[in-house]
Amino acid sequence: MTMLQNTPAQLTGFPMVDEDPEQHRFRVHRDAMTSPEVFRAEIERIFHRCWLYVGHESEVAKPGDYVRRPLGNRPVFMVRGVKTGQVHVFHNTCTHRGAVVCRQKSGNAKVFQCFYHAWTFDSEGKLSGMPGREAYGDKLDFGALGLKSVARVASYRGFVFACFDPDVEPLVDYLAGAREYLDLIVDSADGEMEIVSGTNEYCIDANWKLLAENSYDGYHALPTHDTYFKYLVALGTDLSGGVAGTVRDLGNGHAVLEYAAPWGRPIAKWEPLFGEGARDEIATLRAALVQRHGEARASRMTDTNRNMVIFPNLVVNDIMAVTVRTFMPSAPDKMDVTAWQLAPAGELPQLRQRRLDSFLTFLGPAGFATPDDVEALESCQQGFNSGGVQWNDISRGMAREPQGDDEAQMRAFWRRWQQRMGEAGYQEAGR
Ligand code: FES
Ligand SMILES: [Fe+2]
């Protein structure tokens, strides 16, 4: 049987994002989701040149703590130096003959010994020993054989980012308007947040950009997550306000959807799911936030949700819990997703429990949302293979001031994507 495939894209002169504000037209060519050439170019032009989220400082709280991570499809690891206390992100490759140096997912170590020939590096990356050193004589520059740091490493309010491009703009500039939203989360926890140990890891058979779109897609919430909303209503949650809200282009491809929370928020918004016993506790938390931040900011912290995508692949969703999620493409139609739960450090155990329950109920791999979303994304990818239709339509809301269930946030993402991929873009063969 011959499969009908879309024509593979090639590097020529045609943009994959087609925008015409006059005609309220915004389309993305489906080759952007299926072409191996686009995928390879994305790794080079986006993942190797943008700031990428590595992890949270709380994951390496103590000197010698480390976590191993894939970053733009390259193995790296983040470690807090024992001598300096500084957070490093190293290329995870031995300077001898290449083996991966940090092989455990996480842990605490004073030194990292390569298993191949046992060269040893300290937590600051310095080469500290090797078997049979005398065989090298006295000319070899041992100082130059330390682990190589990723070109740029910086952190913002506990979120650690790295970039392989030494000439990238400073992280604070790159984050642009997204900073305000990270601030809102961190300030609501009095500045002290931590990643709760344990991660969700799963693969999706779909292009990575579909998850960026999905993460702040207000339009899909009611039809796709119908079961969850029915469940909330059955518990007594008032959903009459819907999930309408506003979207903001935060610059540099980042965008956010902000809307009144139809569900409870462990930071300080009670809902029936939390139980009657939690009402007073939550009221006390809310009063404390009002005292510290004033009514308007405290209300934003407690009563509204934010789904944010920081270009290209960091999602920070401050909804019924705070989830931090990254996704890396491993092929045009495959991605690896990792999600963490971010919570105020030192939170009371009963509040933490409530937060974890909320997180898993909706966002966990077997929760109400994630399986539905995975199914939707995989379904889109399968639909692309059917051929016959060349373009995705992303124009919703262009004819009005965009609302929370429009697609302006996705347009911000795609404009930046097109810019990063080069104005030259790509063109279908034989077009
Ligand atoms: S490759 Fe690491 S010690 Fe040889
Ligand atoms: Fe969803």
Predicted confidence at residue 386, as pLDDT, reads 95
Judged on CB neighbours under 10 Å (0-12, 13-18, 19+), 409 is buried
Q: Average pLDDT, stretch 406-418?
A: 96
C-alpha closest to that of 159 among 342, 346, 297, 359: 342
Ranges 142-151, 152-161, 222-231, 251-260: which has the least confidence: 222-231
To test the ligand 1 pocket, which listed residue (92, 117, 128) has its Cβ within 8 A of the most ligand atoms?
117
Question: Tell me: the pLDDT tens digits for 157-186?
Answer: 999 999 999 999 999 999 999 999 999 999
Predicted confidence at residue 318, as pLDDT, reads 93
Say if residues 99 and 116 touch (Cβ distance below 8 Å). yes
For the CA of 130, the nearest atom of ligand 1: 3
Question: Tell me: the pLDDT tens digits for 79-117?
Answer: 999 999 999 999 999 999 999 999 999 999 999 999 999
- Residue 49 DSSP class: T
C-alpha 160/C-alpha 56 separation (Å) is: 6
Q: Which two tokens stand for residue 152?
A: 């740029």
Q: Which two tokens stand for residue 179?
A: 């900073």
C-alpha 222/C-alpha 212 separation (Å) is: 18
Residue closest via CA to ligand 1's atom 1 equals 97
Residues with CB under 6 A from ligand 1: 94, 96-99, 114, 116-119
Alpha helices per DSSP H over 43-192: 171-175, 178-188
C-alpha 191/C-alpha 58 separation (Å) is: 12
Question: Do you find a cis peptide bond into 21, omega within 30 degrees of 0?
Answer: no
For the CA of 118, the nearest atom of ligand 1: 3
Helix (H) or strand (E) holding 60: none
Is residue 242 left, alpha or beta, with left meaning phi > 0 and alpha meaning psi from -120 to 50? left
Judged on CB neighbours under 10 Å (0-12, 13-18, 19+), 220 is middle
| 61-to-85, 195, 355, 356 alpha-carbon distances in Å | 9, 10, 22, 21
Q: Average pLDDT, stretch 263-287?
A: 85
Question: Tell me: the pLDDT tens digits for 295-313?
Answer: 999 999 998 999 999 999 9
**Ligand closest to CA 367:** 2
For the CA of 94, the nearest atom of ligand 1: 2
Q: State the residue for tokens 């949650």.
A: 237
Predicted confidence at residue 2, as pLDDT, reads 32
How distant is the alpha carbon of residue 140 from its chain centre? 42
C-alpha closest to that of 418 among 396, 388, 402, 394: 394
Query: Residue 47 pLDDT > 90, yes or no?
Result: yes
Domain 171-421 has CATH 3.30.499.10: no
Helix (H, G, I), strand (E, B) or coil at 28: strand
C-alpha closest to that of 89 among 120, 124, 139: 124
Question: Tell me: the pLDDT tens digits for 281-292?
Answer: 889 989 999 999
- The angle subtended at Cα 98 by Cα 92 and Cα 102, nearest 5°, is 30
C-alpha 71/C-alpha 163 separation (Å) is: 9
Strands 159-163, 52-56: parallel, antiparallel or unpaired by DSSP? antiparallel
Predicted confidence at residue 68, as pLDDT, reads 97
Distance 70 CA to ligand 1 centre (A): 20
Predicted confidence at residue 282, as pLDDT, reads 87
Neighbours of ion ligand 2 (CB under 5 A): 369, 373
Say if residues 80 and 61 touch (Cβ distance below 8 Å). yes
Band (pLDDT 50/70/90 cuts) for residue 193 is very high
Say if residues 77 and 69 touch (Cβ distance below 8 Å). yes
Parts of the chain belonging to CATH 2.102.10.10: 52-163
Residue closest via CA to ligand 1's atom 4 equals 117
Q: Average pLDDT, stretch 188-194?
A: 89
- Residue 47 DSSP class: I
Band (pLDDT 50/70/90 cuts) for residue 244 is low
pTM: 0.92
Residue 112: CB atoms within 10 Å: 23
Gap between the terminal Cα atoms of the chain: 26
Parts of the chain belonging to CATH 3.90.380.10: 171-421
How distant is the alpha carbon of residue 143 from its chain centre? 36
C-alpha closest to that of 114 among 87, 88, 146, 138: 146
Predicted confidence at residue 153, as pLDDT, reads 98
Residue type at 207?
N
C-alpha 43/C-alpha 38 separation (Å) is: 9
Predicted confidence at residue 12, as pLDDT, reads 46
- CATH class as words, domain 52-163: mainly beta
C-alpha 289/C-alpha 270 separation (Å) is: 14
Judged on CB neighbours under 10 Å (0-12, 13-18, 19+), 300 is middle
- Does 243 or 128 have the greater pLDDT score? 128
To test the ligand 1 pocket, which listed residue (91, 97, 136) has its Cβ within 8 A of the most ligand atoms?
97
Ranges 81-90, 402-411, 420-429: which has the least confidence: 420-429
Predicted confidence at residue 357, as pLDDT, reads 86
Q: Average pLDDT, stretch 306-322?
A: 95
For the CA of 119, the nearest atom of ligand 1: 3
Predicted confidence at residue 235, as pLDDT, reads 80
Strand order in the sheet with 106-108: 87-91, 74-80, 65-71, 106-108
Helix (H, G, I), strand (E, B) or coil at 155: strand
